[in-house]
Amino acid sequence: MDEAAHVVGAWVVGDGCLLYRDFVDNKPPLLYVYYALAQAPLWRGLVPVRLVTVLVTVPLTALAASAVFRHDRRGLVAGLLHLVFGSAFLAHDVLAVNAELVLLLPATWAVVTLADAGREQRAGPAFLAGALLGIATLVKHQALFWLPALAWPIVSLGERRWQRLLGLTAGFVSPLALTALLFAALGTADDLAYWTLLRNLVYAANPISAREALGRAASSLLPWLLATAPLWWAWLRSRPLLDPPRRRLLDLLIVFGLLPAFIGLRFYPHYLVPVCWALAAGAAPAATVWLSRPLGRLGRFFAAATLLIVLVFQALNVVLYLGSRRVYRETDPIYRKTAARLARDACFPGSRLFVWGSAPAFYYYAGLQGARPASRFAAMAQSGLTGYVSGNLGSVRRRAPGEPDPAPAHWDWLMDDLERSRATYVLDTAPAGIYRWDRYPLRDYPRLDDYVRRRYELLDTVDSVRVFRRLGCAADRRGIGQNR
């Protein structure tokens, strides 16, 4: 679902529209730039994004793990551990091209610039490290948590520490300031601040119950800890083998990398992707000793545990992907079937689409055939139009009669968008219950319900998804055809 939202956002920006005004989400801008650049030399869709990620981003991130140890044997093992354990969990979440996977590329090379004690003595590497981490933060905010880890080795050194710390800070602020100036020049600085700062604070203040938080930790965090258990063990055994500056740096990366996973107590596994890289680097010295020939008892045990974890999760991924629409809801054919039905309609060429539901895959499959979003709210989970809060089942409830809208201004924006774009189609996913959207039937939202009733006709129903088409659209298209 996240990949579909990201690629649609990249398409909207590629059409010359403005991010955070014509497409809104709580992700920083460089994520959409990454998606757009990955598609530019190839073709539209997720396949090019995944190809670039697998062939460029992931190998360069593994190379950074090796560079922490100047590409000696420990570096080779660190890179391999990152590649192996980075794929040894749920592909549905961890292997998707989420922001955490993308931010690792600049963030890990920021670590490389400060991995050696001698380089911390100069302001240049500190500025470069800060700039790279600032770029990573423009992919997703979680990269900010690595800033104290990079600052501590500098602060702990002796002479000229404050000059170097100032260089790190200046480097970090530079890409953020340039981005703010760019959006100010476009007239969308307020939109940038609202969606990437204020809305993220709302998202972070997740009103989740203790019971649900414990359940999410048991279903996501605990399995991840078990899957990475060999890395944690090797990291603890590696600490005495590392020089103090490098040990301190990697320890802090692991500790501060864990903190974002606890924000909102959602425990999404992809939040933990940066921790896995830091663990792989931290575990490399002991793993190198254990895996040296001939393999001793510890080496055989470490290799066997790693192989078992990889095989179990790869098999589990296949089983879930082929047989569980409940976990891998994106495999439901409803998205392709609905897009195919739209493409057969006479009004489809050049059409605009609005989806009432948290299902950006509808935009994705229709967009592959030329449809465009009719509203800025293509990533409905972050829209604020309902009381839905991602990662909080307690928020998934029907609206009580007379209950005020959670964000009235957002509803004004939505209705203006639909009217201005003259949305061709409206998809109502509530009857299909996709991602629990059955708790948000149209009739509970009179402004949108009345708008659809007055201006649209029911074209078809595809597996319970209701497809509405703007009244008069077919007649307009016939008139165009006759004039030609």
Express each pLDDT in 100-127 by its tens digit.
999 999 999 999 998 875 555 667 888 9
**pLDDT of res. 412:** 95
Place of tokens 């999760």: 313
Instruction: Identify the pLDDT of residue 468.
Output: 97
Number of Cα atoms under 13 Å in the Cβ half of residue 176 = 18
Span between the terminal Cα atoms of the chain, in Å: 40
pLDDT tens for residues 376-390?
999 988 888 998 888
Burial group, residue 83, by CB count within 10 angstroms (0-12, 13-18, 19+):
middle
pTM of the model: 0.92
Residue identified by tokens 């903190």 is 259
Residue numbers of the chain with a pLDDT score lower than 70: 117-122, 157-160, 324-327, 475-484
For residue 317, the model assigns a pLDDT of 84
Q: Which two tokens stand for residue 28?
A: 């920083």
Q: Under the phi-then-psi rule, with left for phi > 0, alpha for psi from -120 to 50, and beta for the rest, what region is 71?
A: left
pLDDT at 157: 66
Residue 149: CB atoms within 10 A of its CB come to 23
pLDDT tens, residue by residue, 454-469: 999 999 999 999 999 9
Q: Which two tokens stand for residue 249?
A: 């740096």
3-class DSSP assignment, residue 397: coil
Per-residue pLDDT tens digits for 71-103: 999 999 999 999 999 888 877 788 889 999 999
Burial class (CB in 10 A: 0-12, 13-18, 19+), 333: exposed
- Residue found by looking up tokens 């189609």 in the block: 425
The residue type at 405: D
Q: How far apart are CA 346 and CA 301, in angstroms?
A: 63
- Give the pLDDT of residue 387: 85
Question: Are 96 and 84 a contacting pair, CB within 8 Å?
Answer: no
Tokens of 14: 């590629």
Question: In whole angstroms, what is the distance from residue 442 CA to residue 445 CA?
Answer: 5
